[in-house]
Copies of this chain bind each other. A is one copy, B any other.
Amino acid sequence: MQFASDNAGPAHPAILEAIARANDGHQRAYGSESAMSRVRDRIRDIFEAPQAEVHLVATGTAANALILGCMARPWDAVFCSEHAHVEHDEGNAPEFYTGGAKLTLVPAPDGRMTPAALERALLPEGARSFHNAQLGPLSITQVTETGAVHDLAEIAALSEIMHARGQKVHMDGARFANAIAALGCSPAEMTWKAGIDALSFGGTKNGCLGVEAAVFFDPDLARDFEIRRKRGGHLFSKHRFLSAQMQAYLDDDLWLDLARRANEACARLVAGLRAHGEAEILYPAGANLVFVTLPRATLRRLSDGGADFYVMDGDPMTGDPAERLTARLVCDWSLGAEQVDRFLALLG
């Protein structure tokens, strides 16, 4: 019963098969292989964005940090949710790749930033001089780190605030597929139609070995991306093994299929938790992860029974059994109903 992380799970077999097929003799290196052209075309098609610039890297942190580097100058403030992955889980990579920009946290109690909170964080027009961090871009995480999903109107409202001030908007879409599966909208609707200028389009957490696409709906922003990628050491010589993954991920909507499986498992899990007297769900769990508060004794029972998950605020194995701790439960594509049901059975 694996609920620790969607990056601890296996790759989907179709991804591995595509890598094996790509291993065909000598090919042009560094992204000029023909498969990359097909990936680019396919992403432009899926996003209804024929002008989009598309590049691949192997990790989500690289995608986020490189895109933010294209958007923010070293003296800028980059706005993000107080829960954002770019703030808490990327080891100062955004600061590194922007040359020292200042991540400025916007309160987001349930994980979703509100337009009003963003407005306050930006300060009034004219309030910034050369003494201060300069106004810079916004990074929205979708699915948020709490598991909550921004709806399209929220994304559009946040983007509009930034665009009105001449700033760009990034979406950290490490779980982009799960958000699309949750909202049932089109990729275009959740991105450029809602004002997103560049997207980290995740593959790794959703069945790939390690591949993420940087998708620039505003192609001007991508001007230096390839140079920055090389400078960061993120240009693969045998790039075909990245494009092969992405191609298989997009073929036959595998990406959406895998995300739907993960979301369905999570919905089943949430329903079971809701039915349980002890469980308190912390945030609106809209996609494939849920935070739940349970007594230490219960968490211990789940753990002893073979469930694997992270506890955010303490060690369930020691201390007062009645005390309540919060666990994060993440469902990946490979987790079936059977594992969820076993977990819920242990929960009692």
Closest B residue by C-beta to A25 = B10
Interface pair A231/B8, CB less than 8 Å apart: no
A264 on the interface (CB 8 Å rule)? no
CA distance A238 to B235 in the complex (A): 18
Q: Are B231 and A91 in contact (CB under 8 A)?
A: yes
A189 an interface residue at 8 Å Cβ cutoff? no
Q: Is the CB of A23 within 8 A of B8?
A: no
Cβ < 8 Å to B, chain A residues 44-74: 57-66, 73-74
The CA of A76 and the CA of B19, in the complex, are separated in Å by 35
Which single residue of chain B is at the shortest CB-CB distance from A335? B26
- Is A95 in contact with B91, judged by CB distance below 8 angstroms? no
**Interface presence of A99 (CB below 8 A):** yes
Residues on the B chain within 8 Å of A4, using CB? 26
A131 in contact with B90 given A26-B10, A102-B95, A238-B7 (CB within 8 Å): yes
By a CB distance below 8 angstroms, the chain B residues around A133 are 91-92
The answer to the question of A274 belonging to the interface, with a C-beta cut-off of 8 Å to chain B, is: no
Given A8-B27, A11-B23, A23-B16, residue A90 in contact with residue B230 (CB < 8 A): yes
Which of A159-167, A220-228, A255-263, A296-304 sits within the interface? A220-228
Q: Which A290-319 residues have C-beta < 8 A from chain B?
A: 308
Q: Is the CB of B93 within 8 A of A209?
A: no
* Chain B residue contacts of A111, Cβ below 8 A: none
Residues of B within 8 A of A131 (CB): 88-91, 230
Contact call B99/A102, Cβ cutoff below 8 A: no
- Complex: A231 Cα to B74 Cα, angstroms: 9
Set of chain B residues within 8 Å of A232, measured between Cβ atoms: 93, 96, 232-233
Tell me the complex Cα distance, A57–B13, Å.
23
Which B residues are in CB contact (< 8 Å) with A210?
58, 236-238, 241
A62's nearest neighbour on chain B, judged by CB, is B233
Sample (10) of A-B pairs whose CB atoms are under 8 Å apart: A10-B23, A11-B23, A13-B23, A20-B20, A63-B233, A75-B91, A88-B132, A89-B131, A210-B236, A210-B238
Q: Which 3 A-B pairs have the closest CB atoms?
A: A62-B233, A7-B237, A95-B100
A residues apposed to B, CB below 8 Å = 2, 4-5, 7-11, 13, 16, 19-20, 23-29, 57-66, 73-76, 87-93, 95-97, 99-103, 105, 130-134, 204-205, 209-210, 224, 226-238, 241, 308, 332, 334
